Amino acid sequence: MENNTLDKTGANLLIKALQTNGINNLYGIVGIPITDLARLAELRGMKYYGFRREDSAVNAAAAAGFLTKKPGVALTVSAPGFLNGLTALAQANKNCFPLIMISGSSERHIIDLVQGDYEGMDQYNIAKPFCKKAYRVDRPQDIGLAVARAIRTAVSGRPGGVYLDLPADTISAIDQELDQKDLGIYKLVDPAPSQAPSDQAIDRAVSIIKKSKRPLLIIGKGAAYDRCESQLRDLVSKTDIPFLPMSMAKGVIADNDKHSAAAARSLSLNNADVVILVGARLNWMLSYGNAPQFNPDAKFIQLDIDASQFDSSQKIDAPLQGDLTSILKKLIPALTKIKYKTDSTWLNAIAADTAKNDAKFAKRIAAGQTNPKFGYYGAIEPINEYFQKHPDTYLVSEGANTLDIGRDMIGMQLARHRLDTGTWGVMGVGLGYAIASAIETGKNVVALEGDSAFGFDGMEIETICRYKLPITVVVINNGGIYNGIGNVVPDQLGPTTLDPTGRYDLLAKAFGGDNYFVTNYQEMKDTFFKAVESDRPNIIDVQIDPSMGKESGHIGNLNPVLNLKPLEDKVKKNEE
């Protein structure tokens, strides 16, 4: 009788609904009112991973969604815990990662009368603007339906974040009316149905490509998510269309493929007459498709599941709506049929520009190995060397200069093996993403962090150590946000100043992990291979010169510059 009663609680119904739909991992932080819910999940065979902050847990669930193509599920407490997770929920929605954030909450009648409940907040309505859809479950008999709707909403169409509001009474309530055989739980049928464009739409796109002399394929993280790497490799091989990968699409086609235009980015964008967007959006990261970065006469073909993305920044001459796999199943044979091949003049121009830029870059890397002022190039090159030998290693990266220079230096050969700050460029995702990558794939993970970025979620090193995950955290420490030389008033620390001598590696030691401290290229080369292959939690503190690093990394143009020099000169003069 006791077992039957437990079976019909809202908590048990939630767990059974998730498991029935193939979801077995939970990421979260427990407390009122979800503590026993998490315990029951473990007792029922789910894996629960406890974090130190809700945003990291929700970030982990979001990364799990990206990596598995099933919604990652995060569990938070009410009010402050919910709010901590809300930022990560909103970010997952922007990144188009399938995610379900479940938060315990207060009873509706108390919230509506503003009676002052413990951590009382109208979470359901607060969440709505920040997610794809929000649902509230007030009766245990509705939980099966609510989970089904949440899963389908998260993965169908443009993937995104879903909020599921779970009042305390619903968690503990017992529904005596439910049929003991199925408890209102069911497995979804085709939660993300395939969608293919019309033949007319394909013909329109083929007609534009057929006339193109300088086509360019831009591959976004949507292509990585949709598992269409084999199709895109086939497309490029058959047509010789050069490609430019966005950062989380690196590896969809190997970075060292001869068709890559990554090292000739400016030339390619400036001169392409047809731009084919595959799972990529014309947002700030692509300058909205505007001149002078893009050829003002270029025609755009966009492959996307969501028609509202068409014409968002530029006229889309050939919109192809559908899931990417279904679109490519029709587009590739159509291009093969007309035997389309890219003009060799265009390919030669990209190859020449690539060779020129690669030579310049190689000189920077070589100088970085011997420069008395140890910097980013000397610190990151050993990581690149490792990844070329061990491509089935996962990389998570965040920071300003650390992110930007690492993106340029570290070649990726496999899809979905690089995660970073994404569409919003948000810091504080690194360790949550790294934890999910290790859990969901069972592979070694490298979290490449700027010292500022590491500060947002650094306590998750305890989570990494507690679960004994094979994660190497590399902290590039130049003692500042951007760099460590930003003091503008002599008797005050500058707004961008951090501690250039801080020993971040000792955090790993404190929680039972391994710690390393390096100050030059050779030390980093010797240490990095050993650290990753130990399969143990560890931090490598890489102390570089505080002068290394520029303001806002590669996107300094987004940070307004004020003429502070007259005031700075005045302060200096007063000090003399």
pLDDT computed for residue 575 by the predictor: 73
- Environment class of 364 (CB within 10 Å of its CB; exposed 0-12, middle 13-18, buried 19+): middle
The rounded distance, in Å, linking the Cα atoms of 529 and 332 is 41
- Environment class of 431 (CB within 10 Å of its CB; exposed 0-12, middle 13-18, buried 19+): buried
Residue 99 reports pLDDT greater than 70: yes
pLDDT tens figures, 439-451: 999 999 999 999 9
Q: Which residue has the higher pLDDT, 575 or 67?
A: 67
DSSP string computed for 227-260: T-HHHHHHHHHHH---EEE-GGGTTSS-TTSTTB
pLDDT tens figures, 385-422: 999 999 999 999 999 999 999 999 999 999 999 999 99
pLDDT tens figures, 216-260: 999 999 999 999 999 999 999 999 999 999 999 999 999 999 999
Mean pLDDT of 363-383: 95
Neighbouring C-alpha atoms within 13 Å toward the C-beta of 239: 28
2-172 and 199-351 in the same fold: yes
Read off the tokens for 353: 């520009």
Give whole-number Cα distances, 373 to 41, 51, 210, 406, in Å. 52, 37, 51, 18
Residue 165 reports pLDDT greater than 60: yes
Q: Residue 552: helix, strand or coil by DSSP?
A: coil
- Environment class of 17 (CB within 10 Å of its CB; exposed 0-12, middle 13-18, buried 19+): buried
Q: Which residue has the higher pLDDT, 538 or 496?
A: 538
- Decide: 526 and 385 in contact? Cβ < 8 Å: no
pLDDT computed for residue 310 by the predictor: 97
**CATH number belonging to the domain at 199-351, selected among 3.30.1950.10, 3.40.640.10, 2.60.420.10, 3.40.50.1220:** 3.40.50.1220
pLDDT tens figures, 128-160: 999 999 999 999 999 999 999 999 999 999 999
Residues 6+ apart with CB under 8 A from 222: 96, 278, 279, 280, 304, 305, 324
pLDDT computed for residue 96 by the predictor: 97
pLDDT tens figures, 342-354: 999 999 999 999 9
**pLDDT tier for residue 1 given thresholds of 50, 70 and 90:** very low
Mean pLDDT of 1-22: 87
The rounded distance, in Å, linking the Cα atoms of 557 and 165 is 40
Is this model's pTM higher than 0.85 or not? yes
How many Cβ atoms from other residues are within 10 Å of residue 142's Cβ? Answer: 18
| CATH top-level class of 2-172 | alpha beta
Domain ranges for the chain, please list them.
2-172, 199-351, 371-558
Mean pLDDT of 53-72: 98
pLDDT tens figures, 540-557: 999 999 999 888 777 888
Residue 52 reports pLDDT greater than 70: yes
Residue 215 reports pLDDT greater than 60: yes
Q: What CATH number labels 371-558?
A: 3.40.50.970
Answer positive or negative: Cα dihedral of 257, 263, 267, 271: positive
Give whole-number Cα distances, 471 to 164, 428, 437, 540, in Å. 31, 16, 9, 11
pLDDT computed for residue 3 by the predictor: 55
Share of the chain above pLDDT 90, in %: 86
pLDDT computed for residue 178 by the predictor: 60
Residue 182 reports pLDDT greater than 80: no
pLDDT tens figures, 423-437: 999 999 999 999 999
Eight-class DSSP state of 307: G
**pLDDT tier for residue 489 given thresholds of 50, 70 and 90:** confident
- Decide: 368 and 378 in contact? Cβ < 8 Å: yes
Average pLDDT, the chain: 94
pLDDT computed for residue 179 by the predictor: 63
Instruction: Write the single-letter amino acid at 369.
Output: Q
The rounded distance, in Å, linking the Cα atoms of 319 and 277 is 10
Residue 371 has φ and ψ, to the nearest 5°, of: -60, 125
**pLDDT tier for residue 103 given thresholds of 50, 70 and 90:** very high
pLDDT computed for residue 553 by the predictor: 73
pLDDT computed for residue 181 by the predictor: 66
- Decide: 111 and 120 in contact? Cβ < 8 Å: yes
Read off the tokens for 137: 């479950």
First-to-last CA distance in the chain? 84
Q: Where are the beta strands (DSSP E) in 284-353?
A: 299-304, 318-321
Residue 302 reports pLDDT greater than 60: yes
Q: Which of 75-89, 304-318, 489-503, 509-523 has the lowest mean pLDDT?
A: 489-503
**Number of residues that this document lists for the chain:** 576
